Amino acid sequence: MKAIYPGTFDPMTNGHLDIVERGVIMFDSLIIGVAENKRKKPMFSIDERVEMIKKSVSHLKNVEVKPFSNLLVDFMKSERANIVLRGLRAVSDFEFELQLALMNRKLNPECETVFLMPNKKYIFLSSSMIREIAMLGGDVCELVPPKVKEYIDIKCKNGCI
Ligand code: ADP
């Protein structure tokens, strides 16, 4: 079975990576779908996000990283995948994730969503928290993959964060 793990990944965190590492055990192949999401005005460009994820998952087999800017169900059709993988942290994620899963199923009745829970040490970790800590000069090295840390450091050095 082929699954797609969609998200903005601005930037990828150890929580995202934890979900990917659990997903590769469950599925024959996994595509990390990086949503361009211009509306959210991401800190990292779509190319940067795809690059840093590729470098962070290079140790895993059967994982591909692809950008998309269309509707998730259309991206899934083009990739011939019926399963959406999403991460569930606290209860606060649940309502939004349920809405999203049911909407995706309405748009494509064959679309099923699978939720995985990360290790509890990542429950309170989010991309927005990483951006906030980096912006204020804090150390994020235990919270993101080493390759992501390099991209954050470059942005900080150039004064872009
Ligand atoms: P989106 O903009 O679609 O919410 P994100 O990049 O924030 O994209 O997250 C993508 C997916 O990863 C979502 O299912 C989200 O719940 C999950 N996720 C985010 N942070 C974590 C974490 N620390 N642990 C587990 N799952 C996470």
- Report pLDDT digits (tens) over 129-142: 999 999 898 999 99
Q: What is the 97 CA–ligand 1 centroid distance (Å)?
A: 10
Which residue from 5, 19, 130 has its CB within 8 A of the most atoms of ligand 1, so it is best to mutate?
19
Instruction: Answer yes or no: pTM beyond 0.75.
Output: yes
2-157: what CATH class? alpha beta
Q: What is the 110 CA–ligand 1 centroid distance (Å)?
A: 23
- Side chain identity at 37, as an amino acid letter? N
Residues with a CB atom less than 6 Å from ligand 1: 7-9, 13, 15-16, 19, 86-87, 89, 93, 118, 122, 125-127
* Contact between residue 155 and residue 49 where contact means Cβ atoms under 8 Å apart: no
Q: Whose CA is nearest to atom 3 of ligand 1?
A: 7
pLDDT tens for each residue of 79-101: 999 999 999 998 889 999 999 99
Share of the chain above pLDDT 70, in %: 99
Question: How distant, in Å, are the alpha carbons of 12, 15, 52, 58, 78 from that of 123?
Answer: 14, 8, 22, 24, 32
A 10 A CB-CB count for 152 gives 22
The pLDDT of residue 156 is: 85
Known catalytic membership, residue 40: yes
| pLDDT, mean of residues 106-114 | 97
Catalytic residue among 127, 131, 149, 155: 127
Known catalytic membership, residue 77: no
Which residue from 4, 16, 89 has its CB within 8 A of the most atoms of ligand 1, so it is best to mutate?
16
CA–CA separation, 61 and 53 (whole Å): 14
Catalytic residue among 40, 78, 106, 128: 40
Mean pLDDT computed over every residue of the chain = 95
